[in-house]
Amino acid sequence: AQSVTQPDIHITVSEGASLELRCNYSYGATPYLFWYVQSPGQGLQLLLKYFSGDTLVQGIKGFEAEFKRSQSSFNLRKPSVHWSDAAEYFCAVGDSTGFQKLVFGTGTRLLVSP
């Protein structure tokens, strides 16, 4: 079965510094991969998605992610973090067994320090 691992529970980054959030997936074929962001007290918003093609995908709010098949990874990056980026970030993979569903990682909470 598909699974997603986000090894970092919390990450603290200084405002203006670069960010990389890690995501590893387990899937036999080419995966459908997603990053969602959840601001405090809000629902989840899609940041970006990877289906096929170019392994570097651009998303909203200046985020990007790179699909690396050899490492089974789909890490999220941002060159310069803003205080408003403080949120929880979820990586997800499409589960094609039966009906098409999403399998989520446990999330990484990003704290931004001044």
Partner 1 sequence: NAGVTQTPKFQVLKTGQSMTLQCAQDMNHNSMYWYRQDPGMGLRLIYYSASEGTTDKGEVPNGYNVSRLNKREFSLRLESAAPSQTSVYFCASSEQAISLYEQYFGPGTRLTVT
26 near partner 1 (CB under 8 A):
no
114 near partner 1 (CB under 8 A):
no
Q: Which residue of 8, 24, 49, 86 would you call a contact of partner 1, by CB under 8 A? A: 49
Give the range of 20-28, 63-71, 75-83, 99-107 binding partner 1 by CB under 8 A. Answer: 99-107
Query: Measured on CA atoms in the order 54, 107, 113, 45, is the torsion positive or negative?
Result: positive
CA atoms within 13 A on the CB side of 52: 2
Q: Which is nearer to partner 1, 34 or 75 (CB)?
A: 34
Q: Beta strands 108-113 and 10-14: pairing type?
A: parallel
